[in-house]
Amino acid sequence: MTESLLLTADRGAVRTITVNRPDKLNALNAATLDALLAAFDAAAADETVRVIVLTGAGPKAFVAGADIAEMTDLPPVAGRDFSQRGQRLMRRIETFPKPVIARINGFALGGGLELAMACHLRVAADTAKIGQPEINLGLIPGFGGTQRLLRLAGRAATLELCLTGSPVVADRALALGIVNKVAAADALDEAIDALADQLAQAAPLALRGILDCIHVGGECAMEEGLAYETAQFGLMFATDDMREGTRAFLDRRKPAFAGR
């Protein structure tokens, strides 16, 4: 069951995880949430994997939302549990120690946008549609949408998207800061591969340090964030990668980082 819900493929140090429910526009049900969590746990433990690309199967959708058919008859406690299940996955991705890129190839709505926003970077096809339409179902975002969208796009845009439920096109999502880059649909894979390869060639321990600093700094006071950054900066001096990077710079050659 789990294997059919997700597809995984490795290209060098880049692992692509694909939500594989194209007939449901890759909607997130409980089993898919659990499968994704297990897939990210496996990628974290695999030292050969340096970058994750997360996407959806088929040409229409990244993830079109949570599975409404599964949600519609849930009692309140089960609804809360479903929200917590989704938030557990989103938090795992958000705090993941390796860069995670969302490849937004189509609809990223509701839980799909929440999934994309938990990733560290987002690249969208110019045909993508992005939004939080839960209001149209008599619901609110439940996988962290109100909080992450607020931090990415600000109060005005978050109120607009959540209160109206109207999606925005990729270019507007870029202007609002929801996505990092927009590429032509037929050039999306090229853009994703270039970004993933760049990250895969970077120093893994430094990448992790940056991810940790930004995550911690986003949730604490400035002085605490600065102290954490200083501690992480000092730790880099214990790594072989730091020696390799600085020597390569002085030798005017490309560094070869080993993650040590």
Query: For this structure, is 114 an active site residue?
Result: yes
Angle, CA 220 vertex, CA 52 and CA 173 arms, to 5°: 50
**Which residue out of 94, 114, 160, 229 is catalytically annotated?**
114
**Which residue out of 3, 47, 94, 134 is catalytically annotated?**
134
- Calpha distance 252→114 (Å, rounded): 42
Token output for 50: 């340096």
β-strands 129-131, 168-169: how paired? antiparallel
Helices (H), the chain: 2-5, 30-45, 68-71, 76-94, 111-118, 145-153, 155-164, 170-176, 188-200, 204-217, 222-236, 240-251
Query: For this structure, is 160 an active site residue?
Result: no
3 state SS of 18: strand
Instruction: Please identify every residue annotated as catalytic.
Output: 114, 134
